[in-house]
Structure 1
Amino acid sequence: MDYQNEEDEFEDASEYDWMEKIKSTGAVPYLELDGPCKNGWSTPTGDRFMVRGPTYFSDKVKIPSGKFLLKPLGFDWMKGPTKISEVLNHPNHRIRKTLDELAINDTDTGTRPFVWAFNLQLSNKDNYCAIMYFVSLEPVEEGSLMDRFLKGDDSFKNSRLKLIANMAKAPWIVRTAVGEQAICLLGRALKCKYITGSDFIEVDVDIGSSIVANAIVHLAFGYVTCLTVDLAFLLEGQSEEELPEQVLCAIRFVELDPASSEVYGMPSGEEFGEARNLLGTRLWKSFGISQLLHQNNSDESGSGRVPSSGQGSGLQIVANGNLNERDMNGSDESQQFANGNLNEGDINGSDESHRSSGW
C-alpha cells in the first residue's frame, strides 16, 4: 500500500478526478514543491524525514523514510468564533460531502477511500487551525500496525502517533527557539481527540493543552508569513517486527498568510440532523431497502459516523523546570528541557535526543 506522492500512476486517471478537485479547492492553493509561490502547501519528499531503521533497537540507526503510505488530499487554513473540531462530521464540509457522494454512487464492491485528517488547533483569540487531509485507496492489511492503530483505543493511539517537524525555512529567532527539528508522540505531549467513522479518522490536536508547545507556536505564528515547515505523521515502531518505520503522510506549509484563512461556519444542531437524515435516506434507497427507514431510528440509518472522544495528556510545569506528563494510564513521565534540547525517552527505555521545540 505504498504511494509515491506525485509519481503515482493510475490505470484510469478520471476515476480519481474527485481527488484533484479537492486538492484544487480551499483558501490556500496546492503548490509545486520548491516552487517560487507563497501562501500555499505542497508534498515534501520522503528523504526529508529520518525514521527508525530495521535494526534501530540494536544500533539506533535511522534511515530516510522513502515512500508514504497515504496520498495528499487537501488542506484547510481556517479560523472561527470557537475552537474548530470534528470537521469531517460537518455535513457541508467539501470532503465529507464528496465521501457521501462516492458512497451513494458506488456500484461495485471495491474498497472505498478512507480519509485521514490531522487538525492542529492553535490557541489564540481567532481560533486558527491548520487541517491536513490524506487518503488511502487500498484496504488496510489485517493485523498491520495501521490496522491495529485504527482499531485500537485512545491509549494505544496516544502511544503510537508520532510527529516529525522540520524547519525548512525560518528566521533566526524561530530556529533558535524551535530548533531544526522536533519529534514527539503527539498523544503524550498534547491532548488529542480521535473521531472515527466508517470512511475516516480525524485527529484534533489541541496545541494549547501544553504550556511549552503553546508558547513555541505562539512565537512561530508571529513569523508565519516567513516560515516553511515540513510535517510528517507516522506510527512509532516499538518492536523489531514493526521496523523499519514508514511515514503515513507529510505536508509542507509555505509562508501562510493569516489574512487568507477561511471563516469556519459551525452547523446548527437542526442542520446537522437534517443532513444526516437526508444522507441516510439516500443511502438506504441506493441499496433498494428504503422500506426499512421507518423501522429504525434516524441516527441508526445515518452515515455510520461514530465520534469517539479522545483523552490526551495533562501537562504541568513544576518548580524544578521539568515538564511532568500524566498519561492516560496515570503514570508520570518527566521530560527535561535545557538549552532548547528535548531528551525523549521512548517506551523501550532508549533516549532519542533532538534539537527540539520541547513538545
Structure 2
Amino acid sequence: MSPRRQEAEEQQGWREEAVSGASLRQVDLERGTNGWASPPGDLFHLRARGYFSGGGGGGGGGRRGKAPSAAEWLLRPAGVDWLRSHSRLDHVLARDDNPVASAFRRARLRKDPSAHFLLAVNLQVPGRPDAYSAVFYFAAEAAIPAESLLGRFVHGDDAYRNARFKIVNRIVKGPWLVRATVGNYAACLLGRALTCRYHKGEDYLEIDVDIGSSAIASAILHLALGAVTSVTIDMGFLVESQSEEELPERLFGAVRIAQMEMGAAKYVETAPDEVVSEAGRAGAGFRVHSAKVANDSRHQERAGGKVGRSMSCQERERGGG
C-alpha cells in the first residue's frame, strides 16, 4: 500500500472505509431506497425496568413493561453486505475478499484504537439456483466489559447464545399482507427458532442464522422477498434480558433495509464443499480460535421440532417481547 493511500485511510477511519467497501450502499434514513440506513434505538420497544417485577415500563412504557430503547446502540454500524452464491455462505468474516473484514484487519495492524471488536450477523437465505446472505456488521470502538450482558454473550458458549440472541422487527413500509404476516414489533429468540452457527475469534464474532432450518420462517421470508422492492423493515439485534437485574434491554445494533432489489446482490464465488482455512484467511490481528462452532447437541437433536417453535416464538413475542 502506498504511503498516500495509507494516510488517506487513516484519516477516513476504518469504519467509513468498511461502509463504502461493503456491497449494499448506505442511504438516507427517511427517503433512501435499495440500500440500508441506521435507525435510532428508540424506535424499538424493549423490556424496561420493572418488566419482571410488575413495576411497569419505566420511562413511558406501557407495552407490558416495555419502553423505547436507548437511542444509541452498544456497537457502531460498519456496513452491510447483500451477497449471493451457488451455496450457503458460512463464516464470511474469514474470507480474504471481505472488504469489511479487510478494513478491520488493516486497522488492527496499524493499532487503530477504534478497531477493537467486530460482530457480524449473517442471515442466510435459501434459494434456487442461488443462495443469498444479508450480512450486518457492527463494531466496538472500546473494550466490551466481560461482566456485561453483551460481554457474556460474546465470550459465552453456544447454549447461552442460543438462549439470548434476539431480533426485533419493525415494518416501516410494506403491503398489508407482509405487515400482517411478519408483524410489527415482532420479537423472537433466533437461537431457539432457527439453527445458528457461531464463529468466534479473538477480536470478532460471527453469527450465521440459517433461515432454511425452519419451513415457516422460509415461507414468511419468501413472502416478504416477493414484495421486497416495496418493503422497508427495521431489524434490531440484542441480548435478551432474563432477570430484573439485567434490565433495561439495549440493542447492540440495528439496521433499516429500504426497498432492496434482489438483483443488487453481489455474486461471491464458492465451492459447495468449501472448507474455510483458518490459518490462511485470518490475517494478523484477526485471529481465529475455531473455524466453525456448531450448536450444542441438545439443540441439534431438537432441530426437527424447530418449525413449531418458530411460529410459537413469533406469536409469544409479538408486540416486542
Q: For residue 343 of structure 1, what is the amino acid of its counterpart?
A: R
User: 1:32 corresponds to which letter in structure 2?
Assistant: D
For the structure 1 residues 265 and 236, does the alpha-carbon distance in structure 2 shift closer, same or farther, using more than 3 Å as the test? same
Matches within 5 A, 1:51-90: 51-59=46-54, 60-66=64-70, 67-90=72-95
Q: Which residue of 1 aligns with 2:5?
A: none
2:37 to 26, 42, 53: 42
Separation of aligned partners in 1, 2:146 and 2:98: 30
Distance of aligned partners of 1:42 and 1:89 in 2 relative to their CA distance in 1, 3 Å threshold: same
| Identity within the alignment, % | 34
Determine the C-alpha separation between the residues in 2 that align with 1:97 and 1:336. 40
**Structure number with higher relative contact order (C-alpha < 8 Å, ≥ 6 residues apart):** 2
Measured against aligned partners, the alpha-carbon deviations of 1:180-214 in whole angstroms (never above 9, x if no partner) come to: 23210110011000001111100000011111111
Which residue number corresponds to residue 267 of structure 2? 263
In structure 2, the CA distance between the partners of 1:79 and 1:245, relative to structure 1 (3 Å rule), is same
- Residue deviations 1:10-68, cap 9 Å, x none? xxx96562211211223321012102x31010001111101111111123411111221
Alpha-carbon contact 2:14-2:104 (below 8 Å) kept: no
Q: Which amino acid aligns with 1:170?
A: G
Which residue number corresponds to residue 343 of structure 1? Answer: 316
Moved beyond 6 Å, runs of 4+: 267-271
Equivalent position of 2:308 in the other structure: 323
Give the number of aligned pairs.
Answer: 297
| 1:101 to partner: Cα distance | 1.7
Distance in 2, Cα, partners of 1:274 & 1:221: 37
The structure carrying a bigger strand percent of its residues is 1
Q: Could you tell me how far apart the structure 2 residues matched to 1:40 and 1:111 are? A: 25
Normalized against structure 2, the TM-score is what?
Answer: 0.83
Contact 1:71–1:135 (Cα < 8 Å) also in 2: yes
> What is the CA–CA distance in structure 2 between the aligned matches of 1:152 and 1:191, rounded to whole Å?
17
Match of 2:110 in 1: 105
Of the three residues 243, 247, 254, the one matched with 1:243 is: 247
Asked whether the equivalents of residues 157 and 187 of structure 1 are also in contact (C-alpha less than 8 Å), the reply is yes
Distance 1:256 1:166 in 2: 16
CA distance 1:324–1:265, change in 2 (3 Å)? same
Is residue 173 from structure 1 mapped to residue 146 from structure 2 by the alignment?
A: no
Change (3 A) 1:316 1:273: closer
2:191 matched residue in structure 1: 187
Secondary structure at the aligned position of 1:120 is classed as: strand
1:147 and 2:112 correspond: no
CA distance in 2 between counterparts of 1:310 and 1:23 reads 29
Q: 1:228-239 residue pairs with structure 2 within 5 A? A: 228-239=232-243
Relative to the length of structure 1, the TM-score reads: 0.75
Aligned letter for 1:262? K
SS of 1:233's equivalent in the other structure is strand
Say whether 1:117 aligns with 2:120: yes
Residues of 2 paired with 1:184 and 1:271: CA distance?
30
Task: Check conservation: 1:315, 1:323, Cα contact below 8 A.
Answer: no
Task: Tell me, in whole angstroms, the C-alpha distance in 2 between the residues paired with 1:140 and 1:34.
Answer: 31
Q: 2:13 aligns with which of 5, 12, 17?
A: 17
Deviations 1:142-185 (A, max 9, x none): 31111111111100000111100111111122122222232101
CA distance in 2, matches of 1:65, 1:198: 29
* CA RMSD between the two structures: 2.9
> Which one has the largest radius of gyration?
1
